[in-house]
Amino acid sequence: MRLAGAVDIGGTNTKIGVVAEDGRILRRATIPTNKNPQLLVEEISSTLRPLLDTMSDERSHVTAVGVSVAGFLDREHTMMYGNSNLPSLCNFPLRRACEDSLGRSCRLEVDSNAAALAEYRLGSGKDASRLLSIIVGTGLGGAVVVGGRLLRFTGECVGDVGHIVIDPAGRMCTCGARGCLEAMVCVAALTERGKGQQPKEIISRARAGDAAAKNALAETGRLLGMGLASLSSIFAPDLIVVGGGIGAAGDLLIEPTRRSYDACVANEFKGKCRIVGSNFEGWEGVVGAASLAFAPVA
């Protein structure tokens, strides 16, 4: 059985795991994302090494680690140079630092790309012709797979799709603009709608039938659907997969997203694109990072 180590560095938390080639996460852990880059790498290493050691025998030897990070990467995939949610990591030699600390080869990728690959290779977007993958968490990231290949326009990804403006009078965004899609549907926005409750609690209450929690998710879905309708005119997907921590709400988020999308999307795209939730429950970045260790992409 082939295994890979995997790290998914987010704006708030970093997820770490050991993943089998079929996408099963055999070991997992979560740590806060330390804003000091060197300390973050040390904490990743001290968490991942014991997980790797428990799996390293003659039948399952881990030789490589996939690392996904929120932000734009340089062409050589050695460091992240742009992310308003993780400014301290910008221009830090992340790949080399991880390799030195872990003693293994590491592959660095944009987190939204890693998530899209997880969906395309192993998840809800398996073998889609034109896949748009959206991750909703601390921020909002997106990636596109067309004919099995990632689109790379800016920062080794499709650019920052979360910063299309859907409400000029909306929340202030970390990028400095107002009313960005990211600002309107992110963890902070959902927490405000939930009167200070964290997304996991909101989702739990909504599943239990709490009307206020369901309304908070429905409003988030309405705004997300508006944004996805605009992105469809750019990328013309036949399938959109919504993942991330907020995406874990499933149909409580996806159903209002679909209704809003259908009401807002241009006529030429009506009825031509399905919107589904991810099955990875917020761990698509880890699965995708591991997938890169098994089979790198251009």
Under the banding of pLDDT at 50, 70 and 90, the label for residue 34 is very high
Per-residue model confidence (pLDDT) at position 30: 97
Under the banding of pLDDT at 50, 70 and 90, the label for residue 57 is low
- For 225, left (φ over 0), alpha (ψ -120 to 50), or beta? alpha
Cβ–Cβ contacts within 10 Å for residue 295, how many? 9
Per-residue model confidence (pLDDT) at position 1: 78
Estimate to the nearest angstrom the gap between the alpha carbon of 280 and the chain centroid. 11
Percent of the chain with pLDDT over 70: 98
Global pTM reads: 0.92
CA distance linking residue 97 with residue 95, whole number of Å: 5
pLDDT tens sequence across 138-176:
899 999 999 999 999 999 999 999 999 999 999 999 999
**Overall average pLDDT of the 277-289 stretch:** 95
Question: Helices in 7-93 by DSSP H: which ranges?
Answer: 37-55
Under the banding of pLDDT at 50, 70 and 90, the label for residue 38 is very high
Instruction: For the chain, list the domains and their CATH numbers.
Output: 3-114+284-294 (3.30.420.40), 126-277 (3.30.420.40)
Q: Which of 107, 111, 70 is nearest to 90 (CA)?
A: 70
Per-residue model confidence (pLDDT) at position 61: 74
pLDDT tens sequence across 83-109:
878 899 999 999 999 999 999 999 999
pLDDT tens sequence across 179-234:
999 999 999 999 999 999 999 999 999 999 999 999 999 999 999 999 999 999 99
